[in-house]
Amino acid sequence: CKGTRIKVFTWFSISGMVSNLYKDRTTAEMMHYRHNATCTSMREQRRSQPGHDHETEFDFTDVYSSKKYDAIREQISLSKNPELDVVLGINVDGVDAAGSSMWPWLTINYNFSPFVRSHVENIKFHGLFRLLKGCSIGSHMLPFVLESIKLASSGVPVFDAFQNKHGVARVFFLAAL
């Protein structure tokens, strides 16, 4: 796409969304699910269910109860304020339309319980990009990449209405490649 201008129809800030999630007491309480959900307690809860007498590598009730997540968590520390950290899943999928394609960017909030995170009101829209045939999606990722670096390194100032305190929430992304 040499010489072709990138067309960003819209880009909604992830920083603004994260800041707003902590302002409402009920939503802020929901944001603490990830921090409060320990892998061990989830596995213990699963094992106690009738008919479940052994554990396999793929035996989990949520991403946070998997052995793979345990291994990653042991290797890295998310931040100094882990109760405020946010884990988001990003979904980018193109739809063909007459010589180009449209790419909506959505996030799923993994801080929420698995019972509510996929409800339509909890899936957030962040951008819509038009990609001409023969062009790479990579050139359109710049707004996301720049904001992601800032969110993971310095975070977003938030007021946690559930805990009634100020802090900094760093944001990390889960992605399947």
62-98 pLDDT per residue, tens: 776 667 766 766 666 555 667 888 888 888 877 777 7
| Whole-number Å distance between alpha carbons of 141 and 15 | 16
Give pTM, 2 decimals. Answer: 0.75
C-beta separation of 142 from 127 below 8 A:
no
How confident is the model over 114-162, as pLDDT tens digits?
889 889 999 998 888 777 777 776 766 777 888 888 998 889 999 999 9
Average pLDDT estimate for 20-48:
76
Residue 7 Cα distances to 2, 70, 105, 125, 175, angstroms? 14, 40, 14, 17, 24
51 pLDDT higher than 90: no
Per-residue pLDDT at 91: 85
Who wins on pLDDT, 27 or 62? 27
Who wins on pLDDT, 72 or 44? 72
Per-residue pLDDT at 35: 78
For 47, the token pair is 């094992």
